[in-house]
Amino acid sequence: MARTRTTKKLAQRIDLNYFKRPTPLKRAKFWLSFLLPLLALVWIAWHGLSGDHRVYSSGRMSRAHAVLDDLSDICDEARQLRRQERLHHWLHDWLLLHIPLSLALILLGAVHAVMALRY
């Protein structure tokens, strides 16, 4: 007598929770993904609080890099001076509008006060 193997009977043998079960590799991956960033934060905080800044420095600069750093500072200062000059002109141009309007406001306020007291 031949045994009949239906699809339904075969499917019932399959464990549907197979991929949900934790394996040693999954557990190790979980703990490493949690512990390594935590360890890195502790290490950075420890060096930051101890005052040891060698961790953040790549070492001494070469002479060529120092010259480029000086050149960068000079360029930054020139850019800041140009911006300061532009702002200086804007502020003086604003005063050409602001001062007459302020004086007109004071004069009209005085006229309003006199007219209010008179009538």
pLDDT value of position 49:
82
pTM of the model: 0.39
Helix (H, G, I), strand (E, B), or coil: what is residue 61? coil
One digit per residue, the tens of pLDDT, for the chain of length 119 reads 567 788 888 888 888 887 788 888 888 998 899 999 999 999 888 887 887 766 666 667 777 787 888 899 999 999 999 999 999 999 999 999 999 999 999 999 999 999 999 88
pLDDT value of position 77:
96
Q: What Cα–Cα distance (Å) separates residue 71 from each residue in 65, 75, 83, 101?
A: 10, 6, 18, 45
